Structure formats: structure tokens, C-alpha cells
Amino acid sequence: MNKREYCESRESVAYYSGLNGLEIKGIEYGINDFVYCVSGCWYGGKAARRFHRCKIYYPANGKDSAFFRVHGYKIPLDECIRTGV
């Protein structure tokens, strides 16, 4: 299953208000953890949407929160708002 199929078959679990609306569709846990997300959801229609599979980074200092990168922008997981609770 590729990232587009994964994202289209699942409901959003969280969102982030940057990048014209970023919706997180799921997290894949393993040796390396990955986030499946869609950017450009809120503006521009279906043509503006981009599907991503991004690695989650865990900083070694323990003070900073886990984050992932989309188009070079750092997205902290603690700034993402959970939905469906």
C-alpha cells in the first residue's frame, strides 16, 4: 500500500494549522516510526493536496518534543491537535 492509498483509506487522527492545513492520517510504529499525512487539505481543492510519509525524529536532549519534517519545515508532534476524541 503506497502513501496515497494509506491516506485516502483512513480518517484524520490529528491536524496542524500550517502548510495550508496538514492532516495526520496515522502513525506507523517500528524500528523507525513514520507519520502519514496530507498537506494542503484546507485550501486549493484536491489538486493542491500532497501525500507524505515522514520519519519521526526523537531529539537526544530530552527537552524537545518529537517532530517530523514536511517540505523542510519542522512540525513538532506536541503542536498537532488530536481529533476524534
pLDDT tens-digit readout, 4-52: 899 999 999 999 998 889 999 999 999 999 999 999 888 877 888 899 9
Residue 52 half-sphere exposure toward CB, CA atoms < 13 A: 23
Range of the domain at 46: 3-82
Task: Report pLDDT for 85.
Answer: 67
Confidence label for 82 from pLDDT (cuts 50, 70 and 90): very high
Residue 62 has pLDDT above 80, yes or no: no
How many Å is the Cα radius of gyration of the chain? 13
How many domains does the chain divide into?
A: 1
Taking residue 41's Cβ as centre, other Cβ atoms within 10 Å add up to 19
Identify which of 11, 3, 20 has the alpha carbon closest to the alpha carbon of residue 83. Answer: 11
Residue 33 half-sphere exposure toward CB, CA atoms < 13 A: 12
Whether the CA torsion 74, 79, 83, 85 is positive or negative: it is positive
Mean pLDDT of 57-64: 87
